[in-house]
Structure 1
Amino acid sequence: MSRRVVRQSKFRHVFGQAAKANQAYEDIRVSKVTWDSSFCAVNPKFVAIIVEAGGGGAFMVLPLSKTGRVDKNFPLVTGHTAPVLDIDWCPHNDNVIASASEDTTVMVWQIPDYVPMRNMTEPVVTLEGHSKRVGILTWHPTARNVLLSAGGDNLVILWNVGTGEMLLRLDEVHTDLIYNACWNRNGSLLVTTCKDKHVRVIDPRKQQVVAEKSKPHQGARPVRAIFMADGKIFTTGFSKMSERQLALWDLKSFEEPIALQEMDTSNGVLLPFYDPDSSIVYLCGKGDSSIRYFEITDEPPYVHYLSTYSSKEPQRGMGFMPKRGLDVSKCEIARFFKLHERKCEPIAMTVPRKSDLFQDDLYPDTPGPEPALEADEWLSGKDAEPILVSLRDGYVPVKNRELKVVRKNVLDNRPPLGPGRSQSSSDTNFSRLTLEELLEEIRVLRQAVQAQEKRISELEHKLGQFTNGTD
């Protein structure tokens, strides 16, 4: 009678491998701000890194192909007046990135496919609604232009970036500083962690807490929480003895975790990164020199340790590539961009297989760049799963799609004239005619300015090619 001792899993032998020295990004002054953010965001086109900057806040955006030593005069994104705390790429437009800062604002930027000649200082839209620093940003996974921000004022605000308007404001949910926020797979629910030691599952459209757990980890250090694909919640935190822990929770029985493991006694907050296609959670600690990965299953003990990637240098931040940006020909199932003090180093997580054929079991259809909903549809109560794409032939990033912000005309909502302010019909017609002429003139001027900006950008691009000797 045979007995199976080793658990069967196609991810049992996943190993991490750092990129060669000439494939890393060097001479980058990574931000020294003491905030538990990843400080890095990547997508199939760019890697963005929060950097040190005098007189304000800045981050750097590098094309993935621009490896090697980065010029000290490389153009930055420098619109904020205080340090940048978090950045996040839009999942539906690879050229759009949002940034949050200590200056209480959120800015959304359109990044060109070419490298500009000077610093970018003008965002597409500035979102103002927080009264204290903004440290958390995350885009909605399925609805176009919906962005979540959370700040030191204990507020969670949902924005429609396409109109520059505030959609929802959750101001009575959290009683203290918010540590992190994460959407579920279709964006119908949020999970947040807070300094008041509560994990909350929130329906943002109803502005209701649908599930809540006090002290998921007994320690005083920050807790992180993320949604799994099946609706469970994965958390990282600390025990009373300051040991780092991970736990898995089922919302149907939120009182006790279905799995709880202790890790080590390090001080760094564990940042969880989740791949729903493989059900693997990667844990990266601030100040650590390792990445641990665990497979989440439906069988006890539910959280299965796979392996650890170790390096010599401690990490100051971490970027996690979306699945569509991976190299499927090398059986790459995850790619990290690890920040050191002066360097950003890509690390590929690979499943060793000899066949060169496409591995269907490693690459199920994954969320693509097309949104499933418009912002208004989601706000009205509609939900939709992400629109999936196949990686069989590899993913080719789409060309630059411009983010257009259409602000509603505040004059359309002007109050009706009262009895004491009545006007003659001729005066009303005259004022409307004058107003329409002014608005038309403004529209024409705006188009002219945009055309000139586009022409200037194209000329800068050509000048850069001549300067680099490519023409």
Structure 2
Amino acid sequence: MSFRIVRQSKFRHVFGQPLKREQCYDNIRITKNSWDSNFCAVNPKFLAIITEIAGGGAFLVLPLQKTGRLDVSYPQVTGHKGPVMDIAWCPHNDHVIASSSDDTLVRVWQIPEDGLVCPMIDPVVELAGHQKKVGLVQWHPSASNVLLSAGADCRILIWNIGTSELLSEILHPDIIFDCCWSWNGSCLATTCKDRKIRIYDPHSGEIVQEAMGHEGAKPQRVHYLRSGMILTTGFSKMSERQYSLRKENELANPLCLEELDVSNGVMVPFYDPDVNLLYLSAKGDSNIRYFEITDKAPYIHYINTYQSTTPQRGMGMMPKRGCDISRCEIARFFRLLSSGFCEVLSFTVPRKSDRFQDDLYPLTLADMPAISAEEWAEGKDAEPLLVYLKDGYVPTQKQELKVTKKSNILDKMVSKKCEPSSEPASIQPEKNLEDLLNEIKTLQATVLQHEKRIKELENKVESSCHALSEHTQVLNNHGDTIDLLVDEV
């Protein structure tokens, strides 16, 4: 693809630069799963990375300041029974993260203030509604405790985490490749195996718009822009990678459709709604292209490309409230490399002034919800709350996530039947049993980690013994030779 000359823009000289090795993260067993996921999620407090583990699924949660080489025995979140497919941090609580797995379950976890000190097995919420693996989880942008999950059973489920209740269900006609909330959460855009782009009303589950997307059969990605336009990435019939921009009510007629190159990796869009910057990269790529989006043709303007020598397995983008304002940093990426290294990449705008740059940092997404899950379930939509970063980002005080399941009429009937024969003393053994089961699960996770460590040490000892036996054999041969010489003398 031949890019046109860049027009005048304040982002014309934006450049990406990796941080020093000691400011990055090393010795991470990054998952080898071939699923089309970013495998990485980050917020201003923690970095989460899906890892490789035998007999289930796990992911790391590291405080951002814990850089350098990671200990092999560092505790992980290991509650899933199948490989973890996707992870996503809650936008309104930096200590809450959701994960989806091949075991058909979605789990929500509460991370302690200082990170993990022991393996975490028990989630705060466990959501069982899918019949096949769940490949995607996404939080609502403005409603608290509203989580979306999309599975290989062609169903999109929307949950209220606070009550563990299913709020809405969307039956999709084919395998879901990607989905994205609109700016205020009133619509939901999806891409599908049948190559169509669809817009749904998440409250009712009805299709609002539908049109053909990219012509290629490979996966397509979709992203709702702040303006209401829809950005997609996909492939042409000749397997050329493309991106397109469409109006919400005219999906069939793209405003622009551009070809990038010929490669296998699915282009993943990372979008900055504050300044309308778009970053495109893919698994297996070693570069990141970035663009500026405007409301006039040709709409998407190429800026530059960050080039690297090492391809990536996944990537996560820091929310704007986690960027370093003093250095005019407008984006920070965390690139996962196959060597087990997580590279931190900083994009900055070169400015000489030390003053706060209002044009680079307009109002950005806050860490507070605009509405509750109950209000959203009643049909209300609201734009996300915004915050000004001039005085620095100060996180709001968060309460621990607690789940209060709604009472079920069947539960009431059972409790009434049990009232005459139930005694307070009979409740205590159940509590003790739960505590014992939790301790057993924790011990099992610890034993698994020690078993892996023991196997590695046994392999090292075995190789050392083999080398020692070879040296012993050589010495014995030399001894026999010396004895013969002595006999001859």
- Give the TM-score normalised by the residue count of structure 2: 0.84
Other-structure match for 2:343 = 345
User: How far, CA to CA, are the matches of 1:393 and 1:162 in structure 2?
Assistant: 32
Give the alignment of 1:328-367 within 5 angstroms: 328-341=325-338, 342-367=340-365
Amino acid at match of 1:355: S
Other-structure match for 1:420 = none
User: How far, CA to CA, are the matches of 1:163 and 1:275 in structure 2?
Assistant: 32
Amino acid at match of 1:246: Y
User: How far, CA to CA, are the matches of 1:202 and 1:440 in structure 2?
Assistant: 50
Other-structure match for 1:184 = 182
Q: 1:127: how far off? A: 0.3
SS at match of 1:257: coil
Structure 2 residue 320 is the aligned partner of structure 1 residue 323: yes
SS at match of 1:263: strand
Q: Deviations over 1:18-55 (max 9, x none)?
A: 11111010000110101110000000000000000011
Structure 2 residue 292 is the aligned partner of structure 1 residue 299: no
Amino acid at match of 2:175: L
Other-structure match for 2:480 = none
Q: 1:140: how far off? A: 0.2
Q: 1:8: how far off? A: 2.3
Query: Is the 8 Å Cα contact of residues 45 and 397 (structure 1) preserved in structure 2?
Result: no
Q: 1:65: how far off? A: 0.3
Q: Deviations over 1:344-374 (max 9, x none)?
A: 1111111110111111111111111110111
Give the alignment of 1:62-101 within 5 angstroms: 62-101=62-101
Q: 1:6: how far off? A: 5.9
User: How far, CA to CA, are the matches of 1:81 and 1:233 in structure 2?
Assistant: 36
Q: 1:433: how far off? A: 8.0
Q: 1:163: how far off? A: 0.7
Other-structure match for 1:133 = 133
Alignment: residue pair count: 431
Other-structure match for 2:48 = 48
Q: 1:397: how far off? A: 3.2
Other-structure match for 2:373 = 375
Amino acid at match of 1:137: V
Q: 1:441: how far off? A: 6.5
Structure 2 residue 265 is the aligned partner of structure 1 residue 268: yes
Q: 1:399: how far off? A: 5.1
Match of 1:233 among 230, 234, 247: 230
Q: 1:254: how far off? A: 2.1
User: How far, CA to CA, are the matches of 2:424 and 2:220 in structure 1?
Assistant: 53
Q: 1:170: how far off? A: 1.0
User: How far, CA to CA, are the matches of 1:20 and 1:194 in structure 2?
Assistant: 40
User: How far, CA to CA, are the matches of 1:29 and 1:44 in structure 2?
Assistant: 23
Distance 1:85 1:439, change over 3 A: farther
* Bigger mean CA deviation after superposition, 86-95 or 107-116: 107-116
User: How far, CA to CA, are the matches of 1:187 and 1:431 in structure 2?
Assistant: 44
Query: Is the 8 Å Cα contact of residues 95 and 401 (structure 1) preserved in structure 2?
Result: no
Query: Is the 8 Å Cα contact of residues 58 and 76 (structure 1) preserved in structure 2?
Result: yes
Q: Deviations over 1:364-386 (max 9, x none)?
A: 11111110111110111111111
Distance 1:431 1:263, change over 3 A: closer
Q: 1:434: how far off? A: 7.5
Give the alignment of 1:423-438 within 5 angstroms: none
Q: Deviations over 1:131-177 (max 9, x none)?
A: 00000000000011000000000000001110111111112xx2221
Match of 2:408 among 404, 407, 410: 410
Q: 1:445: how far off? A: 6.3
Give structure 1 stretches of 5+ with no counterpart.
Answer: 418-426, 457-471
Structure 2 residue 37 is the aligned partner of structure 1 residue 37: yes
Q: 1:7: how far off? A: 2.1
SS at match of 1:329: helix
User: How far, CA to CA, are the matches of 1:235 and 1:431 in structure 2?
Assistant: 56
Other-structure match for 1:224 = 221
Higher helix share: 2
Q: 1:412: how far off? A: 7.3
Q: Deviations over 1:291-316 (max 9, x none)?
A: 10111101211010011111111010
Give the alignment of 1:175-214 within 5 angstroms: 175-214=173-212
User: How far, CA to CA, are the matches of 1:218 and 1:291 in structure 2?
Assistant: 24
Q: 1:440: how far off? A: 12
SS at match of 2:268: strand
Q: 1:394: how far off? A: 1.5
Query: Is the 8 Å Cα contact of residues 44 and 397 (structure 1) preserved in structure 2?
Result: no
User: How far, CA to CA, are the matches of 1:434 and 1:11 in structure 2?
Assistant: 73
Query: Is the 8 Å Cα contact of residues 29 and 52 (structure 1) preserved in structure 2?
Result: yes
* Bigger mean CA deviation after superposition, 62-71 or 405-414: 405-414
SS at match of 1:179: strand
SS at match of 1:359: coil
Query: Is the 8 Å Cα contact of residues 233 and 250 (structure 1) preserved in structure 2?
Result: yes
* Bigger mean CA deviation after superposition, 131-140 or 381-390: 381-390
Bigger Rg, which one: 2
Distance 1:128 1:12, change over 3 A: same
User: How far, CA to CA, are the matches of 1:292 and 1:60 in structure 2?
Assistant: 28
Distance 1:96 1:409, change over 3 A: same
User: How far, CA to CA, are the matches of 2:396 and 2:50 in structure 1?
Assistant: 25
Amino acid at match of 2:263: S
User: How far, CA to CA, are the matches of 2:267 and 2:68 in structure 1?
Assistant: 29
Amino acid at match of 2:408: V
SS at match of 2:326: helix
Q: Deviations over 1:378-427 (max 9, x none)?
A: 11111111111111122133456310101112247757x9xxxxxxxxx9
Query: Is the 8 Å Cα contact of residues 195 and 216 (structure 2) preserved in structure 1?
Result: no
Give the alignment of 1:250-289 within 5 angstroms: 250-289=247-286
Q: Deviations over 1:107-130 (max 9, x none)?
A: 000001223332100100100000
User: How far, CA to CA, are the matches of 1:292 and 1:260 in structure 2?
Assistant: 16
User: How far, CA to CA, are the matches of 2:234 and 2:79 in structure 1?
Assistant: 34
Q: 1:432: how far off? A: 5.8
Q: 1:253: how far off? A: 2.3
Other-structure match for 1:468 = none
Query: Is the 8 Å Cα contact of residues 147 and 160 (structure 2) preserved in structure 1?
Result: yes
Q: 1:260: how far off? A: 1.0
Amino acid at match of 1:407: K
Query: Is the 8 Å Cα contact of residues 138 and 149 (structure 1) preserved in structure 2?
Result: yes
Query: Is the 8 Å Cα contact of residues 250 and 258 (structure 1) preserved in structure 2?
Result: yes
Structure 2 residue 166 is the aligned partner of structure 1 residue 169: no
Aligned CA-pair RMSD: 2.4
Query: Is the 8 Å Cα contact of residues 6 and 302 (structure 2) preserved in structure 1?
Result: no
User: How far, CA to CA, are the matches of 1:66 and 1:167 in structure 2?
Assistant: 38
